[in-house]
Structure 1
Amino acid sequence: SWEFVIEDAACYPETPLQEAECSFAFQPVIDPFAKEVVSYEALLRTTSGDSPAVYFDGLSREEIYWTDLHSKRIAFAMAGLLHLRGRTLSINLLPMTLVNVPNAVEFLLAEIEASGLIPEQIIVEFTESEAISRLDEFTDSVRKLKSAGIRVA
């Protein structure tokens, strides 16, 4: 049977950047056999807790991609405060963000390092809400992520 215990060292991170325009909810992924948290998924929210749709509402297509990428700075900074240790972190990314924002992979790698995380802890989950055009460029970006140690889903 399951028994949930609140750890004394539990961390509920605040958004680390005062000027942040977004926040993240960290959903734990549980291994039911080991009865432990093995991973977290960073879910984009507005600063008031609203959904990503509300956050992206009113932005142009180009702004959506830039905002999608740059929101990960907040996700990584908040995750750094969670002291993930051996746990992984999943982030959601629009697939065309990697193509439409110059140096997107390099940005992600720099923010991972700045937050005290390592690429091997990160899983990039591509959302299924848009078609992938410019397939060669997308594939090259995915190869860069994977060669740095980031997993993709």
Structure 2
Amino acid sequence: MNQPANLFDESHCEQCACGEGLDFSFTFAFQPIIDAQNRSVYAYEALVRGPGGQGAMSVLNRVNEQNRYSFDQICRVKAVKLASRLGMEAMLSINFMPNAVYRAEYCIRTTLAAAKTYNFDTRKIIFELTEDENLSSVDHLVSIIEAYQEMGFSTAIDDFGAGYSRYNIMMASPPDLLKLDMALVRNIHEQPNKQAVVAGIITMMKQLGGRIVAEGVETREEYFWLRSQGINLYQGYLFAKPGFECLPEPVFPS
């Protein structure tokens, strides 16, 4: 993994906080993660968008090896700033790029500074790993998760069940949250094989002391089957679509 020559100095952090190295702008939409048991919003996930509401890929396609670190850092700052401006009281889930985190305790400094500047409680931040990023070292990812948890942040693995398996991470350093991939969720109420896989994941997370988020839920049938299995946290169009620079109010099925 190539590291910037001046990675570990004050000036580099300041440059990343200002978005140096980026020749494009972006913002966020927020989608709620609901707690069905309490009928409340547990968290909002910050989803990157173009400045005019363009889709995530219009932004992510411009991220490369040269600007990856700056992009990851400015994502955190922008997400915290916008969440604070919108008066977010729920948790804030921010996707992070493991290949842009060279040393967790150092790279977190811009996030901590932003939280202080915008008066956002760092205990409400969830760092969410997208599971299918091809990492060169699982040990590196485990060190990030452990460092973030020691600092008081919550951690999550996104899209569990798709792409690269992360069971080795689950054994080494389980995250606080595991988000079921929507491919597992889709039509689960009528597919016994999927039901068996998800039942195993539920048992695993209970024993590891973490919680499951079922994401990509689109139908009442999917929702009610998952609820019958004891899952309480959900994300998907059934509850609310992402709101561009706003915090949409979710619908709670009954």
Q: Which amino acid aligns with 1:104?
A: C
Pairing of 1:2-151 with structure 2 (within 5 A): 21-85=25-89, 87-99=90-102, 103-151=106-154
> 1:39-92 CA distances to partner (integer Å, 9 max, x unpaired)?
11111111011222211324422313321221221110010123233x211111
Gaps in structure 2 of 5+ consecutive residues: 1-23, 157-254
Q: Which has the larger radius of gyration?
A: 2
Q: Assess, with a 3 A threshold, how the Cα gap between structure 1 residues 50 and 64 changes in structure 2: closer, same or farther.
A: farther
The alpha carbon displacement at 1:146 in A equals 1.4
Tell me the residue number matched to 1:3.
none
Please give the alpha-carbon distance, in whole angstroms, between the structure 2 residues aligned to 1:125 and 1:80: 19
SS in 2 for 1:44: strand
Q: Which amino acid aligns with 1:70?
A: I
Q: Assess, with a 3 A threshold, how the Cα gap between structure 1 residues 39 and 125 changes in structure 2: closer, same or farther.
A: same
Please give the alpha-carbon distance, in whole angstroms, between the structure 2 residues aligned to 1:101 and 1:136: 13
Q: Assess, with a 3 A threshold, how the Cα gap between structure 1 residues 21 and 102 changes in structure 2: closer, same or farther.
A: farther
Please give the alpha-carbon distance, in whole angstroms, between the structure 2 residues aligned to 1:23 and 1:62: 20
Please give the alpha-carbon distance, in whole angstroms, between the structure 1 residues aligned to 2:76 and 2:138: 23
Aligned residues: 134
Please give the alpha-carbon distance, in whole angstroms, between the structure 1 residues aligned to 2:122 and 2:105: 20
Scaled by the length of structure 1, the TM-score of the pair is 0.74
The alpha carbon displacement at 1:120 in A equals 1.2
Tell me the residue number matched to 2:210.
none
> 1:119-140 CA distances to partner (integer Å, 9 max, x unpaired)?
2101100112322224444433
Q: CA RMSD in A?
A: 2.6
Q: Which amino acid aligns with 1:61?
A: E
Q: Tell whether the 8 Å contact from 1:121 to 1:150 is kept in structure 2 after alignment.
A: yes
Please give the alpha-carbon distance, in whole angstroms, between the structure 2 residues aligned to 1:36 and 1:102: 32
Please give the alpha-carbon distance, in whole angstroms, between the structure 2 residues aligned to 1:96 and 1:45: 21
Identity of aligned residues (%): 27
Q: Assess, with a 3 A threshold, how the Cα gap between structure 1 residues 135 and 107 changes in structure 2: closer, same or farther.
A: farther
